[in-house]
A and B are shown apart, each in its own frame.
Chain A
């Protein structure tokens, strides 16, 4: 056998053949190398990919076997899975990595049998098929959806070994296609007496939330597509309600019914859940908008900072109240702040990617980020948020978070801001 650094080895030929036969190796199957398991099942590729033909075209693309981002945790009918923020760049969340929160599992729905009925305080109740909805003038918008419980563990009990995914992974951003709800309300002749509407999903808990009618005439949509293709089942296939900037739960998935009425229905999800206890021993209801928030996703535990010199510290910032107007980064634990660069277009109620170049000279420090939105609201420290809302508050955690960088380059979550 020839030395491994020469251009073509027998193994390379086998690899090339396997690739040509359908990408079995590139699909990440364990490959034995010289009688040993490849270290950490690292995919095997040719020593020099320019010296043999590559894999064939395929029906559906896959990620490079070197890239294996995954949601976590998973496997629960009533539960959630978090987006791996540390593995992503830009602002769009790949659809198969959009966070999940289901209260009765993901229903299996035949789009040809699914309809949306709008009734109640309307001139003419109507039932729409998906094909009906697609005949209305469509809009394409980029918005985030964030679970209002996002950040709870980092708020209540911050721990050094939390990853960006664990700290804040229930935020995802997509390009959505659908019809403005205002258009449909005009079609049914919504009564001027209607002040709220009930949205009902077609899952096994028939998820219901009450929505103030004004949101319908502001920016609410019924969407059927996400990032250029039909919604994923986990995101509400074949149609969902999208209330930009508002807590995830109210963006009812698998939407089947809207009823217009005079007052909120006080469903389980807006009374026993999704209400915010206050330090004055009361509780706020219908606290819909997600507040300005940010997180540095690189660096972040458990990835180490490798090499002294310049690093592009970057992360995500978003606000459910409008556009992000400013993201500040501190490289000294909050003693000083400077404005980060915002990459790309700033859109209301969509995440932005921010960046701050940072020269690491081997010192121990803490990196933090702080977002401000167009209403002037500034992301608070954890201490300030606890003082205002109490440690036992249940939703809408937007405290400043960051990362402690040790002299060794090891990085740990810093949540006690």
Chain B
């Protein structure tokens, strides 16, 4: 019932083409009072619930790094610094050489010649590593910062995250050894297999 009402609402007001996923561009979020008939008696376009988020609290949560790296923070770190940090903070789960302990602690590193060519559909045993699979370098920064290390998630400084990112990328031959990464240089990193990944704003269009 409500589902039908929502579709009706969406189509009526042109919130967007909610009747299918083929066209995903929302045009307007404006609601007219007539549309509220679908939801029952309500006065006005909003219920007026919720409060304005505290700026500091929101900034503390809002650490995500977008694919372009526009939101990368200041700071810098080298792969040499990252090597030391990796040994201290990461190797206990992911192993000194990055082989990990799958499945709980995934393999991070390795450029197995058999996997080059992106033949993962042919062989289930080929490990997906940073160098042979990951399409975006910014993802490394985002994930290490939000979730690592396992025993103290979110405890690393931005400089430490840059250093670990540099170490992992250098170990998998994505960037040269001796590289220092900051926001600008990390944005410029193109992953080896970036071009293999297919997607579209139109859901499911790639398959």
Interface residues of A (CB under 8 A from B): 76-79, 104, 117, 119, 124-128, 132, 135-137, 139, 141, 156, 180, 182-183, 185-192, 194-196, 198, 200, 204-206, 208, 212-215, 217-219, 256-257, 259, 261, 263-268, 271-272, 275-279, 281-289, 389-394
Contacts and interface: CB of A to CB of B under 8 A. Distances in A.
Contacts of A284: 198-199, 206-207
7 contacts: A79-B103, A187-B50, A191-B29, A195-B25, A195-B201, A205-B153, A390-B122
A172 B189 CA distance: 41
Contacts of B147: 104, 204-206, 268
B62 A257 contact: yes
Given A185-B29, A277-B121, A125 B201 contact: no
A127 B53 contact: yes
Nearest to A268: B143
Contacts of A194: 26
B50 A392 contact: no
B62 A266 contact: no
Interface string B95-131: 0000000011100000000000111111111101010
Nearest to B54: A127
A278 B196 CA distance: 10
B174 interface: no
A391 B125 CA distance: 10
Contacts of A392: 119-126
Contacts of A126: 49-53
Most chain A CB inside 10 Å of its own CB: which residue of B26, B28, B121, B134:
B121
Nearest to A348: B3
B198 A282 contact: yes
Contacts of B117: 281
B66 A218 contact: no
Across the A-B interface, give the 5 residue pairs with the lowest CB-CB distance, nearest first.
A390-B121, A126-B50, A277-B120, A214-B24, A285-B199
Given A217-B15, A289-B204, A208 B146 contact: yes
Given A192-B28, A285-B197, A279 B122 contact: yes
Given A137-B39, A284-B206, A287-B204, A266 B29 contact: no
Interface in B1-48: 2-3, 6, 9-10, 15-18, 21, 24-29, 31, 39-40, 45-47
A267 B146 CA distance: 11
B146 A282 contact: no
Interface of B: 2-3, 6, 9-10, 15-18, 21, 24-29, 31, 39-40, 45-47, 49-54, 58, 61-62, 64-68, 103-105, 117-126, 128, 130, 133-136, 138-139, 142-143, 146-147, 150, 153-154, 196-201, 203-204, 206-207
Contacts, number: 220
Most chain A CB inside 10 Å of its own CB: which residue of B29, B119, B130, B200:
B29
A182 B10 contact: yes
Given A218-B21, A285-B197, A266 B153 contact: no
A382 B13 CA distance: 45
Contacts of B142: 208, 265, 267-268
A79 B104 contact: yes
A214 B18 contact: yes
B15 A271 contact: no
Contacts of A180: 2, 6
B121 A136 contact: no
A246 to B, nearest CB: 9
B207 A283 contact: no
Contacts of A288: 203-204
A79 B102 CA distance: 11
B26 A271 contact: no
A132 B50 contact: yes
Given A204-B150, A272-B133, A287-B204, 18 more contacts: A126-B50, A127-B54, A182-B9, A186-B31, A187-B49, A192-B27, A192-B29, A198-B64, A213-B26, A265-B64, A268-B143, A268-B147, A272-B128, A282-B198, A283-B118, A286-B203, A392-B125, A392-B126
A372 B135 CA distance: 34
Contacts of A185: 29
Nearest to A279: B121
A117 B61 contact: yes
Given A119-B62, A264-B67, A137 B120 contact: no
A135 B142 CA distance: 35
Given A128-B49, A277-B120, A281-B119, A217 B207 contact: no
Contact of B15 (A136, A137, A182, A286): A182
Contacts of B10: 182, 217
Nearest to A280: B121
B153 A78 contact: no
A48 to B, nearest CB: 50
A335 B181 CA distance: 61
A119 B58 contact: yes
Given A267-B142, A392-B122, A125 B52 contact: yes
